Amino acid sequence: MNLDAGIPEGPIEEKWSNYLEHVKLVGPNNRRKYDVIVVGTGLAGAAAASSLAAQGYQVKTFCFQDSPRRAHSIAAQGGINAAKNYREDGDTTYRLFYDTQKGGDFRAREANVYRLAQLSTNIIDQAVAQGVPFAREYGGMLANRSFGGVLVSRTFYCRGQTGQQLLLGAYQALQKELNTGNLEMHPRTELLDIVVIDGRARGIVIRDLITGEIRSHSAAAVVLATGGYVSTYFHSTNAVNSNCTAIWRAHRRGAGFGNPCMVQIHPTCIPSTADFQCKLTLMSESLRNDGRCWVPRKKGDTRHPAQIPEEDRYYYLEERYPSYGNLVPRDVASRNAKYVCDDGYSVLGDQGRAVYLDFNDAITREGKKTIGERYGNLFDMYEEITDESPYDGPMRIYPALHYSMGGLWVDYSLMTNIPGLYAIGEANFSDHGANRLGASSLMQCLADGYFVLPQTIGNYLHDIYMDKVGTDHPAFKQHEDSVRDDIARIMSIQGTRTPLSIHRELGELMWEHCGMARTAEGLKTALAGIEDLQEAYHKDLLVPGVADGPNQVLERAGRLADYLELGHLMCRDALERNESCGCHFREEYQTEDGEVMRDDENFQHVAVWEWKGKEDAEELHKEALEPEALPPMTRSYK
Amino acid sequence: MRLLRFYRSAIGKKVVVALSGGALYLFLIGHMLGNMWVYGGQEDIDSYSHHLRTFMEDFFGYGGFLWIARIGLLAALLLHVVTIVLLVRQNRKARPEQYRHKHRAARTLASMTMLISGPLILVYVVLHILQFTTGTVQPTAYEEGAVYANLWNAFQVWWIALIYIVMMFFICLHLYHGVWSMFQSLGINNQDRNKMLRMISTVSSIVIFVGFSSVPTMMWCDMLPPPTPKESAQQPVVQGPDRLLVQSEGGHDEP
Amino acid sequence: MKLTLHIWRQANAQAKGKLERHEIDGISEEMSFLEMLDLLNEKLVTEGKDAITFDSDCREGICGACSLAINGRPHGPGQGCTTCQVRMRSFKDGDEIWVEPFRSGSFPVVKDLMVDRSALDRIIQSGGHINVHSGPKPEPNSIPVSHPVAEEAMDASACIGCGACVAACPNSAGMLFTSAKVSHLGLLPQGQPERYSRVQSMVHQMEDEGMGGCTNHGECQDACPMEISLAFISRMNRDYMKATLIEPDQRRGKLSNQ
């Protein structure tokens, strides 16, 4: 497997301009001769598709939603980082690079991260020009807020709906291109296969989710912008339809999968209460500034929290981390909540897992009004969902999955190891290493979509239009048939297990063994468990309805096959990485005080997995990371 | 033609409805204020009616001003009705399949009954003109120009008084929604003004209701003195077209 | 909690639909309405029956995929929330609930509770954007935007495009949706160059989609999960009047003939 990242020469701050100076281009009058397929129309996909169409390429977009505006980028709340230094508080491109790289525990590719920091300022300019209503100060200038553990104020925001507003900007740009005739949109379609001919990505096979028809589309290049894969865990903050099918099917056609075990867990989410809960809702991390985490000292203490006296409360973060208390980093907070629940102190008893986040002290100290002003909307959201007011008693919270740093391996130009196949946004692995900083995901999606891909894709396209391959090529027919066979097989099992039940079981296994804290033994248990589930899937699956019409159970079943395989790979990757770094915490590798212990000597690399067929185990390749601008250091919170 | 293009759109039609409705609304206010002469006594109201005919006589001739107003109001009414018919047709087409379970959240009694109160008012206006303007329909004694006496005679009959009061309620209902809608359709509404505009429409529709219905109520309850007979020579004889007019809605020379 | 559900089943856009009765037991108050439907679907699937098709995605009230009316009200009971945010505690044990798709001539039913809302996308396509492409842009602080204007634009821009306004309107009008986008872009300085052409093309597209006109009931505002104000409709009316009646629409080559 060729893992040459193609990083340009020169000092880190000149790499991107060096790249641009030497990149090959396609002339404006030739661009209409190239079809480009963009799968997924969230922030990254819509931004890329609209930019490419505006340049003159013939772009086709595909998404499973009924409209691009519904992609899950819309749910991002907090904001977007940019090193504008509007506050004169010492922010620079280098500092944004430094924070991102350190936050990712030095497991990201330096050149990509630095480019991201450089492009961050352009994103704000672009979004404002599109009419994104960023918050403004009274003098009319853009407002900033500070975010997640950095020392500067560099986050731009639109109330709590930043992701929505940025997505609408990109979506509108996309709708606009429909008028030029350069763009063709295929909503309610799902990618089921990538067609690779003579080593180049030449098109895709999709299923029309309304008619059930299997169709192919050919193109000079295929761009995947299909987001992350934490839906593998069943319960996550992702949308219920977010899935890994596109990147996984690309992986099965030869694209390397980078760092699959790197997924981020957010410490403060509303825990699952109802059996049939399908989704976890995230509560802003800022709550821990004033809330105190505790559980009762006695197991199974069923008293109302207000009636539990101080001496019977276990403020586990304050006791274990006296200096940082409730403000320990995300991963530490998450892990400790898990530990106390593992020990049987969950405040939901047998009903589920949760800890208290108590605002009583803050309310007594600063008054209900002050606390209400600070967290009012979050408290309302909590009350809407749980029917309990955080003013009267503690919140119940528990960590939940919400982002995947891993994804398809890409080089500096965002191309996977299959020529002509690109991966952008959360779908690739490149910029966040082992842990992502808050307000960085929007930044990465838009940088990839608006500014990187439109300038790098010409380098691949400039010489391939001469040998066009259409959907009449036999390979397309062959791929279509294999997809049809797959669907027919799924429909014909007619067993007893619903896709939902298998998925939920997979989620429990993954969460238990490949979640916040992992052990070699647990991962092996999970691997065996997943293999059992795969067998249940192939022998005992039940999918009613028809294949030639809307069938949401069938859609779920198809995605589940990929979750099972990807879940297996995630466990293998976690097992293989014998170190702790960022969100990947192996219990065997921790310092005396329970911090992550990195092993730079043996694991300063990206683990890239190659599919070897259904029967054979995946093969591990390594892309060594060679930090020059910022040598790795210990990530200390003391 | 830009005007035609404007009228072709639903927003353009709404603006036409708002403007024509606004003209009728202003007329109603004027009409109601005119009615208040009743409280000045028989003398006052009769001479007010006469004054309307002689207003700007030098310029338009006797009754000329009134005719201009009548034509204007008729045009407004026609525009109002025709445009609404066109809009209703478009709106009906927009939802072929109805909800099986009906639900109402923000609709008020007034807004839901616009298409009932509207035609009722139209019928009423025609009858009202036939009764007091042209005298074509004479359920009670009628004399040209003797405004006070005509009113008094009519409102001694309980069902005529009742019909007038009930119809005033419908007009009030129509205005309650219509006046605010007018501000909304003309783009006058915004977040800051909304409360005030709602207030204007509520208060003015109530005032119009109270103002108009007070006359039949008080006459029926004998709270106003009966008319004194007087020589008809005081009034100039009206001839010609006024008598021939059958369906002019604007012909409100008497309250 | 035990409930009786009357759910709209329709095989496709052409087929005739009907209400289907389902009894469901074991509902807990914490469940969301859609989780209740998930539970019902799981039951149907185990019985080998066709599951009820409905759109949903983010399940936290921001994507706008929910497209069903509960007891005749788009997004069901509760102010300012979408179907996925409705909790079962809004209902009582033994309640009968009617579940229907958003109903409008411009939202044809795809299947069961799933509707085709591409009309809204076409309205945005007709003009709901600013014509810029990616590349270097002026420094954003070089064009100050006053705080209240930015906030008002954000109020309008909060629209999630669910179409509840169209579904709630007795005339199935798209005025609130269209006016929200017209106002968002029309308020900001970046949207000024296309302000008047935008409002015309969007309004005309809205009518071409077969949507009705506004009769100012305010049902749209009431059903809107983002609580977008009717005042934006008034603003759009004003802009439309100005655009069609006052603003010159063809400048080129006209001046020399005066």
What are the pLDDT digits (tens) for A461-499?
A: 997 766 788 999 999 999 999 999 999 999 999 999 999
Among B90, B101, B194, the residue with its CB nearest the CB of C212 is B90
Are A204 and A195 in contact by the 8 Å Cβ rule? The answer is yes
Predicted pLDDT at B239: 44
Residues whose CB falls within 8 Å of the CB of residue B231, separated by 6 or more in sequence, listed in order: none
B26, B247 contact by CB (below 8 A): no
Query: Per-residue confidence at B35, pLDDT binned at 50, 70, 90?
Result: very high
Percentage above 90 pLDDT, chain A? 77
Residue A326 pLDDT grade (very low, low, confident, very high; cuts 50, 70, 90): confident
User: Looking at residue A600, what is its pLDDT?
Assistant: 94
Chains B and C touch (3+ CB pairs under 8 A): yes
Q: What is the CATH number of domain B2-95+107-244?
A: 1.20.1300.10
Q: How far is CA B140 from CA A134, A151, A183, B126, C128, in A?
A: 71, 90, 76, 17, 63
Pull the structure tokens for residue A528: 């065996």
Other C-beta atoms lying within 10 Å of the C-beta of residue B52: 16
pLDDT digits over A78-102, tens only? 789 999 999 999 999 999 999 999 8
- pLDDT for C228 equals 96
Helical H segments across C20-163, by residue range: 33-46, 118-127, 147-157
Q: What is the pLDDT of residue A101?
A: 93
Contact yes or no for A384 and C87 at CB 8 A: yes
Query: C144 CA to chain A: closest CA distance, Å?
Result: 4
Q: Is the pLDDT of residue C16 over 80?
A: yes
Residue A148, pLDDT score: 62
CA B13 to chain centre: 21
pLDDT for residue C254 is more than 80:
no
Q: Which residues of A247-260 are buried (b: 16+ CB within 10 A; e: fewer)?
A: bbbbbbbbbbbbbb
Residue A194, token pair as written in the block: 């990538």
Give the C-alpha distances (Å, rounded to integers) separating C29 from A275, A281, A386, C69, C89. Answer: 11, 17, 9, 20, 4
Instruction: Say what the pLDDT of residue A149 is.
Output: 60
Q: Do the chains contact at C185 and A131, CB–CB below 8 Å? A: yes
Task: Enumerate residues 6+ apart whose C-beta is below 8 A from C27.
Answer: C1, C2, C3, C36, C39, C88
CB contact under 8 A, C173 and B10: yes
- 8 Å CB contact between B147 and B46: yes
Contact B105 C215 (CB under 8 A): no
SS3 category, A78: coil
A28 in contact with C, Cβ within 8 Å? no
C3-9/C96-101 β-pairing: parallel
Domains of chain C: 3-111 (3.10.20.30), 117-131+145-246 (1.10.1060.10)
Residue ranges of domains in chain B: 2-95+107-244
- Closest CB from B5, B91, B188 relative to C244: B5
Six token digits for residue B233: 């020579």
Work out the average pLDDT over B4-23.
Answer: 95
The Cα A94–Cα A102 span in angstroms is 12
Q: How confident is the model at residue B243 (pLDDT cuts 50, 70, 90)?
A: very low
Interface residue of B8, B85, B99 to substitute, partner C, most C CBs within 10 Å: B99
Segment C241-248 shows an average pLDDT of 91
| B225 pLDDT more than 80 | yes
Nearest chain C residue to A449, by CA: C134
pLDDT in tens, A590-606: 988 778 899 999 999 99
DSSP C77: S
Are B211 and B32 in contact by the 8 Å Cβ rule? The answer is yes
Express each pLDDT in A221-231 by its tens digit: 999 999 999 99
Least confident of B244-253, C8-17, C239-248: B244-253
Q: Is A442 left (phi over 0), alpha (psi -120 to 50) or beta?
A: alpha
- Mean pLDDT confidence for A21-39: 94
Q: Answer whether residue B214 shows pLDDT above 50.
A: yes
Which has the minimum average pLDDT: A107-116, A169-178, C75-84?
Answer: C75-84
Asked if A547 contacts A491 with a C-beta cutoff of 8 angstroms, the reply is: yes
Give percent above pLDDT 70 in chain A. 98
CATH number of A494-599: 1.20.58.100
CB contact under 8 A, C217 and B15: no
Q: Is the pLDDT of residue B228 over 90?
A: no
Report yes or no on chains A and C touching (3+ CB pairs under 8 A): yes
Instruction: Say whether pLDDT at C175 is over 90.
Output: yes
What distance in Å separates the CA atoms of residue A217 and residue A201, rounded to the nearest whole number? 11
DSSP state of C242: I
Q: What is the pLDDT of residue A596?
A: 87
Q: Is C165 on the interface with B (CB under 8 A)?
A: no
CA C21 – CA C5 distance, rounded (Å): 6
What DSSP state is assigned to residue A236? B
Contact A260, A245 (CB under 8 A): no
The arrangement of strands across the sheet holding A619-624 comes to A407-408, A257-258, A605-610, A619-624
Question: In angstroms, what separates the C-alpha of C197 from chain A's closest C-alpha?
Answer: 14
Nearest neighbour of C103 by CB, restricted to B99, B114, B184:
B99
Is the pLDDT higher at A159 or at C102?
Answer: C102
Optimal mutation site among B103, B193, B197, interface C, most CBs of chain C within 10 A: B103
Contact B187, C234 (CB under 8 A): yes
Instruction: Please answer whether residues A608 and A621 qualify as being in contact, where contact means their C-beta atoms are separated by less than 8 angstroms.
Output: yes
C60-72 average pLDDT score: 95
Contacts of B189 (CB under 8 A, 6+ apart): B180, B183, B197, C230, C231, C234
B137 — pLDDT class (breaks 50, 70, 90): confident
d(CA B213, CA B209): 6
Give the list of residues 6+ apart from residue A543 with CB closer than 8 angstroms, or none: A490, A491, A493, A494, A499, A551, A553, A554, A557, C45
Sheet containing A263-270: give its strands across: A281-282, A263-270, A395-404, A355-358, A292-296, A313-314
Name the A residues in 233-252 with CB < 8 Å from any C CB: 239-242
Query: What is the average pLDDT across A126-153?
Result: 88
Find, in chain C, the residue whose alpha carbon is nearest to that of B10. C213
* C216 to chain B: closest CA residue: B181
What is the rounded average pLDDT for all residues in chain A? Answer: 92
Which residue type occupies A150? V
A450 contacts in C (CB within 8 Å)? 134
Please report the pLDDT score of residue C252 as a whole number. 67
pLDDT in tens, C104-157: 999 999 999 999 999 999 999 999 999 998 888 999 999 999 999 999 999 999
Chain B and chain C share a number of CB contacts under 8 A equal to: 151
pLDDT at C223: 96
What are the extents of the domains in chain A? 12-262+405-461, 266-401, 494-599
> 């694209």: which residue's tokens?
A255
Sign of the alpha-carbon dihedral angle for C127, C132, C133, C134:
negative
Quickly name the fold that domain A12-262+405-461 has.
Answer: FAD/NAD(P)-binding domain (3.50.50)
Q: Which of the 8 DSSP states describes residue B134?
A: S
B190: closest chain C residue by CA = C231
The length of chain A is: 638
Report the 3 state secondary structure along C171-198: CCECHHHHHHHHHHHHHCHHHHHHHHHH
Q: Which of C203, C209, C232, C237 to substitute to test the interface with B, most B CBs within 10 Å?
A: C237
Q: Does residue C59 sit in helix, strand or coil?
A: coil
| Alpha carbon of B189: minimum distance to chain C alpha carbons (Å) | 6
User: Hey, which residues 599-638 in chain A have their CB within 8 Å of chain C?
Assistant: none
**Percent of all residues in chain C with a pLDDT value above 90, rounded to a whole number:** 88
Q: Counting every residue, how long is chain C? A: 258
Strand A35-39 relative to strand A221-224, pairing: parallel
pLDDT band at residue A510 using 50, 70 and 90 as cut-offs: very high
Q: Do the beta carbons of residue C74 and residue C102 sit within 8 Å?
A: yes
**Weakest mean pLDDT among A55-59, A65-69, B48-52:** B48-52
Q: How far does the CA of residue B98 sit from the closest CA of chain C (Å)?
A: 7
Computed from CA positions of residues B208, B212, B218, B221, in that sequence, does the dihedral angle turn out positive or negative? negative
**Cβ–Cβ under 8 Å, residues A442 and A77:** no
Tell me the average pLDDT across A515-530: 96
> Which position has the higher pLDDT, A325 or B104?
B104
Q: Answer yes or no: do C216 and B95 touch at CB < 8 A.
A: no
Res. A387: pLDDT tops 90: no
CATH number (3.90.25.10, 1.10.3720.10, 3.90.700.10, 1.10.1040.10) of A266-401 reads 3.90.700.10
The pTM assigned to this predicted structure is 0.93
Q: What pairs with residue A610 in β-bridges?
A: A619
pLDDT band at B244 (very low <50, low <70, confident <90, very high): very low
Q: State whether A138 and C147 contact (CB < 8 Å).
A: yes
Strands (E), A276-336: 281-282, 292-296, 313-314
For residue C13, what is the nearest residue in chain A, using CA coordinates?
A210
B144-160 confidence digits (pLDDT tens): 889 999 999 999 999 99
Residues in chain B: 255
Q: What is the pLDDT of residues A411-465, one digit of tens each?
A: 999 999 999 999 999 999 989 999 988 889 999 999 999 999 999 999 999 977 6
